């Protein structure tokens, strides 16, 4: 019996962890990858090659943004709402035993306090505001409320809908006290702050619930988004909404004198890595973009037909992408773009792509190849890219010029090892 959208979403949320054992019916063998041809990121639609950065910026980049918007992610219908406003709801300058400053803010997207909103949390190194230059910052979305990123008992508990999960202490679609710190290892707050960075986060469900109903609630209501199957073919889905929210968080950070909004790295894991890439491709204010195990629809090449496919992701999560993307189900060869061009859209700003050896569902080699095939665009800006032709060995990161890649041991997750690489790359490209 086919799964309902709700049941499929609940099950598929856990799939990356389950796919350490290869799933029947999906390709996990390099020898079985079909021949494929990648579209040239430096060839205009009319067939003229791009040979300089100015032509890339004024002609090719807009072309590619249009195609990704129309065919895959859907169009972002607007930027910062005119009535958007926010307020700091709490500040503790001796948080985490005096090791950090914690700030919580509520951001309303209209003039109404009972309208769509999101909650932003910031941890930054300690010190009086006038005692330091503004902090470079890592910004990302979280899965179980801001309370999940650290065990700090003073973080406000999310009251938004979230997926019920016994593992993560979510009962009846609501966070409990037990959700505090359930993803602390993925955020590594203390290590980031000790390194001289701020870290900021938003619960992705504040923006769009990760279920079909999300397209008719919260941020989607601001733009009259249609339901899952009643949208216009090029109307955005959840990934577009989550990416939009990251840009709105950057608006807020830009107004904080203690944060250097010129040095904000946007990052994300899995589906939120897809959102981070799409946010970075659209919003050139992000100084660094980080994809952690983002897989299909993220950093992995679609045309390789390895692990998760276009058809599987569109069937399992029909509310993530535009409905037009479904026309490429089992027809990846017909896609006019591939994900190396998504990474190229971020050039010349740096991108770090990360994979896990035990995560074949996300196609680690396909993620590496996306970064590798984006190099010609980085070369237009005088950057060498990764500087390697072959996928590096496990736990041997390549922090190149503009592009970085690593694959580590382990499964679908974010680990302290990942954060060490991101911080090292941040030190290199954010002018620490």
Nearest-Å Rg of the Cα atoms of the chain is 20
Active site residues: 270, 412
In terms of CATH, what superfamily is 10-429?
Answer: Alpha/Beta hydrolase fold, catalytic domain (3.40.50.1820)
Domain residue ranges of the chain, discontinuous segments joined by +: 10-429
pLDDT for position 22: 64
Q: Give dist(CA 416, CA 394) in Å, integer.
A: 15
pLDDT of residue 132: 73
What is the Cβ-side half-sphere exposure of residue 369, based on CA atoms within 13 angstroms? Answer: 17
Cα separation values, 409 from 82, 109, 266, 359, Å:
46, 41, 24, 9
DSSP 57: I
Burial of 165 per CB tally in 10 Å (0-12, 13-18, 19+): middle
pLDDT in tens, the chain (432 residues): 344 433 444 444 544 444 444 677 899 999 999 999 999 999 999 999 999 999 999 999 999 999 999 999 999 999 999 999 999 999 999 999 999 999 999 999 999 999 999 999 999 999 877 777 899 999 999 999 999 999 999 999 999 999 999 999 999 999 999 999 999 999 999 999 999 999 999 999 999 999 999 999 999 999 999 999 999 999 999 999 999 999 999 999 999 999 999 999 999 999 999 999 999 999 999 999 999 999 999 999 999 999 999 999 999 999 999 999 999 999 999 999 999 999 999 999 999 999 999 999 999 999 999 999 999 999 999 998 999 999 999 999 999 999 999 999 999 999 999 999 999 999 999 976
Structure-block tokens of residue 28 = 């996990």
Q: Please tell me the chain's helix, strand, coil percentages from 3-state DSSP, rounded to the nearest 5.
A: 35, 20, 45
Smallest CA-to-CA distance from 64 within 84, 40, 81 is with 40
Q: Which pLDDT score is estimated for 427?
A: 97
Residue 194 CB partners (closer than 8 Å, separation 6+): 99, 125
| Separation between Cα atoms, residue 217 and residue 116, nearest integer Å | 8
Do residues 125 and 193 lie in contact, with contact meaning Cβ atoms separated by under 8 Å?
yes
298 CB-side CA count, 13 A: 33
Instruction: Return d(Cα 74, Cα 231) in angstroms, integer.
Output: 10
Question: Which structure tokens are listed for 279?
Answer: 């946010």
- Other beta carbons within 10 Å of 139: 27
How many Å from the N-terminal Cα to the C-terminal Cα in the chain?
55
Confidence at residue 304, expressed as pLDDT on a 0 to 100 scale: 98
Q: How many residues does this entry show for the chain?
A: 432
Q: How far apart are CA 241 and CA 286, in angstroms?
A: 17
Give the integer Cα–Cα distance in Å for 403 and 398: 8
If DSSP codes are grouped into helix, strand and coil, which group holds residue 129? helix
């Amino acid at each position: 019996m086919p799964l309902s959208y709700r049941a499929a979403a609940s099950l598929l949320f856990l799939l990356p962890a389950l796919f350490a054992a290869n799933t029947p019916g999906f390709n996990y063998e390099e020898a079985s990858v079909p021949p494929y041809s990648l579209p040239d990121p430096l060839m205009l639609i009319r067939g003229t090659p791009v040979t300089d950065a100015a032509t890339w910026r004024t002609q090719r980049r807009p072309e590619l943004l249009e195609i990704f918007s129309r065919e895959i992610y859907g169009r972002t219908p607007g930027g910062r709402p005119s009535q958007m406003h926010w307020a700091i709801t709490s500040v503790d300058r001796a948080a985490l035993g005096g090791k950090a400053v914690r700030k919580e803010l509520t951001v309303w997207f209209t003039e109404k306090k009972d309208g769509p909103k999101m909650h932003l949390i910031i941890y930054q190194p300690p010190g009086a505001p006038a005692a330091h230059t503004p902090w470079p910052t890592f910004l990302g979305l979280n899965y179980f409320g801001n309370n999940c990123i650290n065990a700090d008992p003073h973080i406000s508990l999310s009251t938004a809908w979230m997926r019920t999960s016994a593992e993560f202490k979510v009962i009846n679609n609501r966070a409990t006290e037990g959700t505090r710190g359930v993803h602390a290892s993925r955020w590594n707050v203390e290590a980031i702050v000790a390194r001289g960075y701020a870290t900021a986060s938003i619960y992705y469900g504040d923006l769009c619930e990760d279920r079909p109903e999300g397209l008719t609630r919260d941020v989607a209501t601001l733009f009259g988004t249609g339901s899952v199957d009643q949208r216009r073919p090029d109307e955005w889905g959840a990934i577009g909404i989550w990416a939009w929210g990251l840009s709105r968080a950057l608006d807020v950070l830009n107004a904080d004198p203690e944060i250097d909004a010129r040095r904000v790295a946007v990052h994300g894991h899995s589906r939120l890595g897809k959102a981070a890439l799409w946010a970075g491709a659209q919003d050139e204010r992000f100084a660094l973009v980080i994809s952690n195990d983002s897989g299909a629809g993220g950093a992995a090449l679609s045309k390789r037909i390895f692990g998760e496919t276009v058809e599987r992701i569109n069937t399992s999560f029909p509310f993530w992408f535009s409905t037009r993307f479904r026309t490429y189900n089992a027809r990846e060869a017909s896609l006019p773009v591939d994900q190396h061009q998504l990474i190229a859209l971020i050039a010349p700003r740096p991108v770090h792509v990360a994979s896990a050896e035990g995560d074949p569902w996300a196609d680690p080699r396909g993620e590496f190849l996306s970064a590798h095939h984006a190099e010609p665009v980085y070369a237009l800006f005088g950057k060498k890219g990764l500087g390697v032709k072959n996928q590096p060995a496990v736990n041997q990161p390549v922090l190149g010029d503009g592009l970085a890649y690593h694959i580590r041991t382990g499964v679908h997750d974010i680990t302290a090892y990942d954060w060490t690489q991101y911080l090292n790359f941040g030190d290199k490209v954010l002018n620490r």
